Chain A
């Protein structure tokens, strides 16, 4: 190759490489920009207990969507979701509580959620010291796409205080990238309506 062309070619290739690195860096920076919506107050739920799932006064925190439009709690954290017209756990309507099943291949908060079954009791504790009991009325493995259209989770109802406890589920297998194809959902309804 002509040596005269080698210098500009090298500079061009080098610039391409630097551009690729810059794109990667920008993506990483932008991906960390979260703006969850928070709800506060004494009546806000603080913990959840579900003996069948091995949960004992597990702290729960209000959290909205990631900027990417997904529910994605931090590692080791259970959240109650404050968006999509969902309610505070305990209010009439449907509340969503979510946590990871595993994280970095290690068991996370909802690792044993799939152990719950109909009739099991779930208790939510509040900032003012009160508690409220819920009973599991159904459990389901559902595809991630199916969950997004689930009437039991996202439908509008105000007849009963309902909680949808959600995590991921390996029952439908994993995608080629390692992510699971399904969620596990346990629906619980307040004992006193």
Chain B
């Protein structure tokens, strides 16, 4: 086989590799990154069959997957061209893909709040003592009361906003069924092409190596 042919074969294999990687879903949420914020992080990736563009987090369905005192800390909806990441997804909510794209897989990550090192006790200017603590407590309450009064209007606005946000929500109903028996996916075809091309190139390399050694 000529050098040109070998070069062509290698370039083709590289192109096939890039194609297969591009055909795969976008990278999901980074588990290691979550581990910086949460303990006991675990992410489950689930392939999404059909043409769903949204997913619904349901306690009865997803709750049993939680381990120990974990809670859901991230949800990623991965489509062909994009991925939507949701922090701290909650039950009863529907989460949709970007621009209504078909979701290829979802990644649900769970974890528990990281155990923080015990915060040092705040220094007390009064030097401590029950009476001092009581007084400080009273001052804090008074200050909190002022804050409450000042923020009353803001709270009212937020309450109104929350009320407006309350909306019926349910899961996607995927009742159109697949169009045909599942065909070969690009990832499957790309993977097979790569495996064969790689094996061929490796075999050629093995054959040529002794020739070079002898020459």
Q: Is the CB of A68 within 8 A of B46?
A: yes
Beta-carbon contacts of B159-201 to A below 8 Å, as 1s and 0s? 0000000011111111111111100010110111111111111
Q: A177's contact among B6, B14, B51, B204, by CB below 8 Å, is which? A: B51
User: Which of B169, B174, B194, B199 has most A Cβ within 10 Å?
Assistant: B174
User: Which of A28, A68, A145 has most B Cβ within 10 Å?
Assistant: A68
Q: A179's contact among B17, B102, B181, by CB below 8 Å, is which? A: B102
Measured CB to CB, the nearest residue on chain B to A175 is B51
Known: A20-B20, A67-B46, A104-B178. A14 touches B202 (CB 8 A): yes
| Interface hit among B32-40, B92-100, B122-130, B133-141 | B92-100
Q: Which residues of chain A are near B206, meaning CB under 8 Å?
A: 7
| Nearest CB of chain A from residue B200's CB, rounded to whole Å | 7
Q: Is the CB of A72 within 8 A of B6?
A: no
Measured CB to CB, the nearest residue on chain A to B174 is A72
Q: Which residues of chain A are near B175, meaning CB under 8 Å?
A: 71-73, 98-101, 110, 166-168, 183
Interface flag for A16 (CB, 8 Å): yes
| Nearest CB of chain B from residue A70's CB, rounded to whole Å | 5
Q: Is the CB of A31 within 8 A of B176?
A: no
| Nearest CB of chain A from residue B172's CB, rounded to whole Å | 5
Q: Is the CB of A65 within 8 A of B6?
A: no
Q: Is the CB of A82 within 8 A of B171?
A: no
* Cα-based distance from A102 to B212 in the complex (angstroms): 62
Interface flag for A190 (CB, 8 Å): no
Q: Which residues of chain A are near B26, meaning CB under 8 Å?
A: none
Q: B192's contact among A21, A27, A28, by CB below 8 Å, is which? A: A21
| Interface hit among A43-51, A52-60, A150-158 | A150-158
Interface flag for A120 (CB, 8 Å): no
Interface flag for B113 (CB, 8 Å): no
Q: Is the CB of B177 within 8 A of A20?
A: no
* Cα-based distance from A82 to B61 in the complex (angstroms): 10
Beta-carbon contacts of A1-36 to B below 8 Å, as 1s and 0s? 101111111111111111111011011101101011
Interface flag for B109 (CB, 8 Å): no
Q: Is the CB of B177 within 8 A of A104?
A: yes
Q: Which residues of chain A are near B94, meaning CB under 8 Å?
A: 148-149
| Nearest CB of chain A from residue B47's CB, rounded to whole Å | 4
Known: A6-B201, A17-B197. A70 touches B55 (CB 8 A): yes
Q: Is the CB of A70 within 8 A of B191?
A: no
Name A68-102 residues within 8 Å CB distance of B: 68-73, 75, 82-84, 96, 98-102
Q: Is the CB of B55 within 8 A of A180?
A: no
Q: Is the CB of B51 within 8 A of A65?
A: no
Interface flag for A64 (CB, 8 Å): yes
* Cα-based distance from A102 to B178 in the complex (angstroms): 8
Interface flag for B84 (CB, 8 Å): no
Known: A27-B47, A84-B171, A153-B168. A10 touches B54 (CB 8 A): no
Question: Top 9 nearest A-B pairs by Cβ distance?
Answer: A14-B198, A179-B51, A17-B194, A10-B201, A20-B191, A10-B202, A17-B195, A7-B205, A6-B205
> B residues within 8 Å of A by Cβ?
3, 6-7, 10, 13-14, 16-17, 20-21, 24, 44-58, 60-62, 64, 92, 94, 96, 100, 102-103, 105-106, 167-181, 185, 187-188, 190-206, 208-209, 211-212
Q: List 24 A-B contacts (CB under 8 A).
A: A6-B6, A6-B204, A10-B13, A10-B199, A10-B200, A10-B205, A13-B17, A17-B20, A31-B47, A65-B171, A67-B61, A68-B55, A69-B56, A70-B50, A72-B52, A72-B174, A72-B175, A84-B92, A101-B176, A104-B178, A110-B175, A149-B167, A166-B175, A168-B175
